[in-house]
Amino acid sequence: MAGERGVIVSINVSRGGVPKLPVDAARVSPVGLDGDGQRDLRHHGGPDRALCLYSMDLIEALQREGHVIAAGTTGENLTIRGLDWNAVVPGAVLRVGDIAVEITAFASPCTNIRPSFADDDSNRISQKKFPGWSRVYACVRGDGDLRVGDEVTLHATPRVAG
């Protein structure tokens, strides 16, 4: 649903691996967030995976299920509250602060994030097993500064063939 609004509640970076730790602000460009790195460039990073996004609303729901997940523990760069995560799918365009990002793919869970889950089963956020619960990757169109508290707007949704 275009026009839906949310907010960045956490910006998370690390030199590689998880957890990614919170910062108040970061510069973003088509190659990702300044100060953020990835150890495994086959599966993370690059222009189509410059950012990883996740929903704080889903993190809180997972916590209520007994998981120890928190912002940044599953490797997301931006933790966002208030968007209908079912609409944040490949092809959707978000306005994050002053930057446009396009969702490129669902992020498959990896073994490194297992400690975020009570049963060590990171598949709890697998799009294939639990549709609508996955983190997503995005490409960045432009560059600028992002801050905690910046508005996130679902700007465009992908067209459904029919």
Please report, for residues 32, 52, 54, 157, the alpha-carbon distance to residue 57 in angstroms, rounded to integers and kept in the order given.
23, 16, 9, 20
Average pLDDT for the chain: 91
pLDDT in tens, 95-122: 999 999 999 999 999 899 999 999 999 9
Classify burial at 24, counting beta carbons within 10 Å of its beta carbon; exposed 0-12, middle 13-18, buried 19 or more.
exposed
pLDDT of residue 92: 96
pLDDT of residue 155: 87
pLDDT of residue 152: 98
User: Domain spans of the chain?
Assistant: 5-156
pLDDT in tens, 5-15: 999 999 999 98
For residue 79, name the pLDDT band (cuts at 50, 70, 90). Answer: very high
**Beta-carbon count within 10 A of 5 CB:** 11
More confident residue, 96 or 17: 96
- Structurally, what CATH architecture does the domain formed by 5-156 represent? Beta Barrel (2.40)
The Cα–Cα gap between 37 and 1 comes to: 32
Predicted TM-score (pTM) above 0.85: yes
